C-alpha cells in the first residue's frame, strides 16, 4: 500500500508536467489537474473490476489520494497565481489588432488550416476579418471580428430592445414545477389563472415554459390514436 | 473551504492508515520470517509443532493481510507453509528445504512491497 501511495503521487505529478508540456491542444475543456485526475481515476477504477487478484484497496487508496490532490491543487492554485501560471497555461493571443502572431502559432503547433477552420466556425471567412483571435486556457479559440465585419447590435442601431428573461419550464408531465415557478417569481395560482385566460386546460398540455415578464409558451399533447 | 478541511483530514487519515498498514504487514512478515529461520531440523520432534504454530499464526492474520496485499502473494505464502508442514510430517528433507526457501522468498516479496526505495518505486 505504501508503494501504491507514493507511486500515485509520483504519477500524478508526472502527468501534470507532461500535460502542461503538451500544451493547450490536448486539454480540451478541462484544466490540466482535472484532466489528469479524470484520466487516472477512470483507469484505476477498472483495476479491481477486471483483476480479481488485486484487493479493492489497491484502487480505493489511489482514487482517494487523487481526490485529495485534486482538492488541494485547486485550493493552492487559487491562492498562488505564480504556481497557477506554472501548472495551467495562460490565454495566448494569436491575432492581435488584425496582425497574425506567427511565433505564437508555431509555439502552439497550430497550422494555418486549423486556424482558418476555427475562424470559419465563428462565421467569418478570412483572416483579414479578424481583429483578435485568442486561444483560451481550455483550448478553445475566441475570435473577435473587426468592427466592420461584426454583426450590427441593437445598441449600434439605437434600437431599444426590452430584456426578455430566461424561459423556465413551469409545467411538464402533468405537474407544476415549483422550482421553475420560483425562478420566474410566480406561483401556481398565477399560472392557473394565465391558462384560464387563454382557454387552456392542463390535461391538454405537454409542457409550458414562462419567463419573469409573464410570457408563456406551451406545447399541446400529441393526440393518441 | 469545508471540502479542503475534509480533504486534509482524509489525507491525514489515509497517511495514518498506510503507515499503520505498512507497520502491521512488516510486523507479521518479520514474525513469520523469524519463525521460519528458527525452524529446527526436520528430524527433531517439535518441528511439526512449530510449523503448525507458524501456520496458525499466518491464518490468524490472513484476512487482514488480504486487505492490502495481492491475493496471489498471500496465497503463495499459505501454499508454501502447508507444503512445509506436509514435508515435515512425511520426513521429506529435500522438499522441506525447498519449501522453506520458497516461503522465505514469498515473505521477502511482501516485505519488499511495503518498503520505500528507488528500485521498488520505479
DSSP class of B84: H
Q: Which of A3, A61, A65 sits opposite B120 (nearest CB)?
A: A3
Closest CA to A44 of A16, A71, A11, A75: A11
Q: Which of B10, B67, B114 sits opposite A64 (nearest CB)?
A: B10
- Residue A224: which pLDDT band, with cuts at 50, 70 and 90? low
Which of B10, B70, B113 shows the shortest C-beta gap to A54?
A: B70
> Is there a contact between A55 and B4 if contact means CB atoms under 8 Å apart?
no
Q: Which of B3, B18, B72 sits opposite A1 (nearest CB)?
A: B18
Pick from A54, A75, A99, A199: nearest CA to B1: A75
Contact A5 B14 (CB under 8 A): yes
The reply to whether residue A53 touches residue B22, judged by beta carbons under 8 angstroms, is: no
Phi, psi of A146 (to 5 degrees): -65, 150
- Residue closest to B110 by CA, chosen among B82, B64, B81, B70: B70
Helix H or strand E encompassing A116: helix A112-121
Q: Which residues of A touch B7 (CB under 8 A)?
A: 67-68, 71-72
pLDDT tens track for A113-169 = 999 999 999 999 899 999 999 998 777 889 999 999 988 889 988 999 888 889 999
Q: What percent of chain A has pLDDT over 70?
A: 94
Tell me the residue ranges of DSSP E strands in chain A: 92-96, 99-100, 130-135, 141-145, 168-172, 175-176, 205-210, 216-220
* B46–chain A nearest CA distance, Å: 35
CA distance A210 to A165: 9
* Per-residue model confidence as pLDDT tens digits over A8-54: 877 788 777 766 766 655 556 677 788 888 888 888 888 777 777 78
Neighbours of A90 (CB within 10 A): 10
The distance of A46 to chain B (nearest Cα, Å) reads: 16
The pLDDT assigned to B54 comes to 93
What percent of the residues of chain B are helix, what percent strand, and what percent coil, each to the nearest 5? Answer: 85, 0, 15
| Summary mean pLDDT of chain A | 85
Q: Are B71 and B7 in contact (CB under 8 A)?
A: no
ipTM value greater than 0.90: no
pLDDT of B108 > 60? The answer is: yes
Residue in B closest to A72 by C-alpha: B4
Q: Give B14 to chain A, closest Cα distance, Å.
A: 8
Residues A75, A69 contacting (CB under 8 angstroms) = no
Burial of residue A60 (CB within 10 Å: 0-12, 13-18, 19+) is middle
User: Which chain B residues touch A6 with a CB distance below 8 Å?
Assistant: 116, 121
DSSP bridge pairs for A209: A169, A217
What CA–CA distance (Å, rounded) separates B81 from A48?
A: 27
Q: Locate B54 and state its grid cell.
A: 507458524
Amino acid at each position: 500500500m505504501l508503494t501504491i501511495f507514493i507511486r500515485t503521487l509520483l504519477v500524478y505529478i508526472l502527468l501534470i508536467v507532461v500535460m502542461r508540456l503538451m500544451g493547450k491542444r490536448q486539454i480540451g475543456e478541462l484544466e490540466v489537474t482535472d484532466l489528469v485526475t479524470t484520466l487516472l481515476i477512470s483507469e484505476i477504477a477498472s483495476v479491481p473490476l477486471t483483476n480479481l487478484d488485486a484487493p479493492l484497496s489497491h484502487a480505493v487508496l489511489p482514487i482517494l489520494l487523487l481526490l485529495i490532490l485534486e482538492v488541494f491543487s485547486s485550493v493552492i492554485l487559487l491562492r498562488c497565481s505564480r504556481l497557477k501560471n506554472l501548472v495551467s497555461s495562460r490565454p495566448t493571443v494569436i491575432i492581435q489588432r488584425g496582425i497574425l502572431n506567427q511565433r505564437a502559432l508555431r509555439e502552439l503547433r497550430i497550422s494555418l488550416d486549423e486556424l482558418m477552420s476555427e475562424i470559419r466556425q465563428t462565421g467569418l471567412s478570412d483572416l483579414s476579418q479578424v481583429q483578435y483571435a485568442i486561444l483560451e486556457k481550455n483550448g478553445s479559440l475566441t475570435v473577435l471580428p473587426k468592427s466592420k465585419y461584426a454583426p450590427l447590435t441593437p445598441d449600434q442601431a439605437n434600437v431599444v430592445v426590452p430584456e426578455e428573461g430566461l424561459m423556465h419550464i413551469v409545467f411538464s408531465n402533468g405537474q407544476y414545477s415549483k422550482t421553475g415557478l420560483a425562478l420566474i417569481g410566480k406561483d401556481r395560482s398565477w399560472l392557473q389563472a394565465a391558462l384560464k385566460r387563454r382557454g387552456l386546460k392542463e390535461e391538454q398540455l405537454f409542457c409550458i415554459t414562462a419567463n419573469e415578464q409573464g410570457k408563456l409558451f406551451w406545447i399541446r399533447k400529441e393526440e393518441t390514436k | 473551504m469545508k471540502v479542503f478541511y475534509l480533504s486534509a483530514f482524509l489525507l491525514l487519515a489515509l497517511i495514518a492508515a498506510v503507515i499503520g498498514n505498512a507497520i502491521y504487514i512488516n510486523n507479521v512478515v518479520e514474525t513469520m520470517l523469524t519463525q521460519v529461520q528458527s525452524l529446527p531440523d526436520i528430524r527433531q520432534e517439535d518441528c511439526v509443532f512449530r510449523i503448525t504454530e507458524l501456520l496458525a499464526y499466518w491464518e490468524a492474520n490472513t484476512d487482514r493481510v488480504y486487505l492490502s496485499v495481492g491475493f496471489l502473494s498471500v496465497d503463495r505464502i499459505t501454499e508454501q507453509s502447508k507444503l512445509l508442514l506436509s514435508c515435515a510430517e512425511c520426513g521429506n528433507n529435500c522438499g522441506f528445504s525447498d519449501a522453506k526457501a520458497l516461503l522465505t522468498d514469498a515473505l521477502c516479496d511482501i516485505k519488499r512491497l511495503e518498503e520505500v526505495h528507488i528500485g521498488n518505486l520505479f
